[in-house]
Amino acid sequence: PVSRRRLEQKFRENLGMTPSELITRMRVEKAKGLLEAEPPQSLTGIATECGFTDLRNFRLTFRRVTSQSPADYRLTQSVSPLDKSTATPHKGSP
């Protein structure tokens, strides 16, 4: 049998992070997808769906991983670029 410590060592050597760090990153990535989805879900619902113990833990973890709060992330993702078909062409453009 392989010890937990040895498994974590090999995991880190191959993936650059521990199993728990990978799980945290996967949870945050799932949360990012849910924060971008329409219609918007509550932060509590997203936290629960992604396996966080509570909203506080979700907010702290999300900020540690992304350097943004979940609410700020949602705001930055909801600003969609101007649709090219409605954009006004510059003078001299075909």
**Which residue segments constitute the domains of the chain, with CATH numbers given?**
4-77 (1.10.10.60)
Cα–Cα distances in angstroms (integers) from residue 87 to residues 46, 65, 78, in the given order: 34, 35, 19
Query: For residue 86, what pLDDT is reported?
Result: 44
Question: What pLDDT does 82 receive?
Answer: 54
Q: Can you give the pLDDT at residue 85?
A: 43
- Residue 69 is predicted with a pLDDT of 98
Token look-up 């510059």 returns 90
Query: Locate tokens 């907010």: which residue?
Result: 59
Sites in the chain below the pLDDT cut of 70: 79-94
- Kindly report each contact of residues 54-61 with a partner whose C-beta sits within 8 Å and lies 24 or more positions away, as own/partner: 58/31, 61/24, 61/27, 61/28
> How far apart are the C-alpha atoms of 26 and 32, rounded to whole Å?
10
pLDDT confidence of residue 81: 54
Q: So what's the pLDDT on residue 78?
A: 77
The pTM for the full model equals 0.77
